[in-house]
Structure 1
Amino acid sequence: MIRRYCLLTLILCFGIVNCYAQKKLHTLNIKTEKELQTYFKYTGKDILLISGHRGCHIPDYPENSIEAFEYVLQHTPAFFEVDPRLTKDSVVVLLHDATLDRTTNGTGKLSDYTWEEVKKLKLKDKNGKITDYRIPTLEEAIQWVRGKTILNLDKKDLPLAMTESIIENNNAGAFVMVTVHDAEQARFYYNKDKNRMMSAFVKTEKALKEYEDAGIPWTNMIAYIGPENKKENDVLLHLLHKRGVMCMISAAPTYDKLESAVERGAAYRQTFTMGADILESDLPVEAAAAIKSILPRRSPKSPFFKY
């Protein structure tokens, strides 16, 4: 009887350890807003960064889901661009579209449903398969990523003041940043918090000048420069790098849609060899694997990465 009990105990312990091992995550060691700014500062010797667009967009793992975040971090360090939207009763949830049809088993506008109704819905994966996962609230996502990685909040239907208030109330400035589409939006956040980290649309030299004229320090920004690798990016990349700004290309509307993994991998690598520092992708695990061969062996950013 004792022998049987001991055997059962060993089996249970092995199962727990094995389960924990499967959930071991790549995390980022960032504790303050200043450390977040240092993590994103361009040095010329940086570890190439992957941003999971809406988490990821693959079979079995719906976009904008906590389960997608966890899946990605099991395979690679990454941060996540997500889409906060409001329910009818002003609960902030993660959903890209204004409507429920594409990504859930619901129909119609999100804004026509209360949170009590929304939380009963199931998320669909990229193939339309209904999963067991549900739409998370922004606060649930913030609590899940705390101590693990960074959230980049895109601009949807939330007022800027509400977004800022959520970050402040959750004491999340060290790991939650905001997307800004112009200098006016950037100035709002900077006025609220001089250390607020932003992902800024800087697709032209004119836009670059507008941010500078608005008095926004480049230490507070990474720059989204567009969805394509092109020679015309060279001048903008030089100007931004000179200011210590990391530059991001989004492969979601372009290279993620190439037919084969070989073609996609070549495009991901080219994104970095042509000067970008961050790749945003619907396929962050695949992208991370594709760029392993071009990662620097040493970087001043290495202490930020944990596994």
Structure 2
Amino acid sequence: MDLRRAARQLAVIAGCFIVSQVMGQSKKINVLNISTPQQLQQYFKYTGHDVPLVSGHRGGPDAGAPENSLEAFEHSLQFTPATFEIDPRLTKDSVIVLLHDDTLDRTTTGKGKLNNYTWAEVKKMQLKDVNGKVTPYRIPTLEEAIIWAKGKTVLILDKKDVPMETTAALIKKHHAEAWVMITVHNAKQAKFYYDDNKNVMFEAFVKTKKAMMEYEEAGIPWQQIMAYIGPEDKPENKELIDLLHQRGVMCMISSAPTYDKLSTAEERAKAYAQIIKSGVDVIEADKAIEAANAIRSLVPASSEKNKFFGKK
């Protein structure tokens, strides 16, 4: 029995190695050439001739590429440049890992609450893909993701159960202000991070003019904000988008709870394209590759932002 178990474990390890080699070497990946906080701010500055961008919600999952995994990041980047919204959570022994739910059941082979397990236990679990299929991949730590992403993409940290002080300290430890952004739900959260680190960039909830004024009154520089305006493309957004654009701020809609759930690829493609046509600059999507394909024809013929795009 022990020999059979050992053989199975070796098979999983070998499979993980082989698949990771294939994913890492079969194609070049699209990268964002951003190496300083100032370049990140320049990239997200609205100019009116910007390249529409996709952000992979929960890391841009796909078949065989589980959400919140390094493998999902690399898979998406084979098809499109992208940023990735990810979900840091704490294990029982306070290791920061990537997991959207506070429970393990939906996306891993584990059961129950994440915070009931130590990192030593969690790292033995395997991730499931969007179809519930078990993969060879494991839950990464946030630190692993930050190290992996440097020179490739930009990570956007959602707010889950990690204390703000801990998040701020990890970004400082890796001098990661050039490729790690922080999601903030209000101006008070943004002010905490900005007072601690003047170089940090935000994906900020700015769903109303009132919220916009609160960031302004808190003294958060607009060049350090990319604005999340909500999950719906609606006519009422136009005034807010215009006001933010006047301040040099790019605007983002998340299609994950809305248009990603449309029943056909054709319906989704039409919705993604319309979001960009309505003046939005970034789409955060579960179906990041689909969204990127749908908006490709809307990329301007020339843009000063082209210098930020490359391949590795």
- So what's the TM-score if we normalise by structure 2? 0.91
1:277 aligns with 2:265: no
Deviations along 1:159-208, one digit per CA (max 9) or x if unpaired, are 10100000000111110010000000000111011121000000001100
Partner of 2:213: 209
SS at match of 1:291: helix
CA distance in 2, matches of 1:295, 1:224: 21
Partner of 2:124: 120
Give the unaligned 5+ runs of structure 2. 1-21
1:100 aligns with 2:111: no
**What does 1:177-188 correspond to in 2, within 5 Å?**
177-188=181-192
Q: Percent identity?
A: 61
Which has more radius of gyration?
Answer: 1
SS at match of 1:306: strand
Partner of 1:6: none
Deviations along 1:120-167, one digit per CA (max 9) or x if unpaired, are 000111121111110000011011111101000000001101000000
Q: Measure how far apart 1:57 and its partner are.
A: 2.7
**Matched-pair contact (CA < 8 Å) for 2:54–2:285:** yes
CA distance in 2, matches of 1:23, 1:153: 27
Q: Out of 77-86 and 188-197, give the one that drifted further.
A: 188-197
1:47 aligns with 2:77: no
Partner of 2:152: 148
**What does 1:166-205 correspond to in 2, within 5 Å?**
166-205=170-209
Q: Measure how far apart 1:21 and its partner are.
A: 5.5
Q: Measure how far apart 1:23 and its partner are.
A: 3.4
Partner of 1:233: 237
- Determine which of 23, 30, 34 is the counterpart of 1:30: 34
How many residue pairs get aligned? The number is 291
Partner of 2:73: 69
Partner of 1:3: none
Partner of 1:89: 93
Q: Measure how far apart 1:60 and its partner are.
A: 1.3
CA distance in 2, matches of 1:104, 1:42: 39
CA distance in 1, matches of 2:60, 2:30: 16
Partner of 1:297: 301
Q: Measure how far apart 1:292 and its partner are.
A: 1.2
SS at match of 1:37: helix
CA distance in 1, matches of 2:136, 2:120: 17
User: Structure 1: which amino acid aligns with 2:118?
Assistant: T
User: Structure 1: which amino acid aligns with 2:285?
Assistant: S
CA distance in 2, matches of 1:293, 1:218: 29
CA distance in 2, matches of 1:101, 1:20: 28
CA distance in 2, matches of 1:253, 1:108: 24
- So what's the TM-score if we normalise by structure 1? 0.93
Distance 1:292 1:241, change over 3 A: same
SS at match of 1:151: strand
1:251 aligns with 2:255: yes
SS at match of 2:204: strand
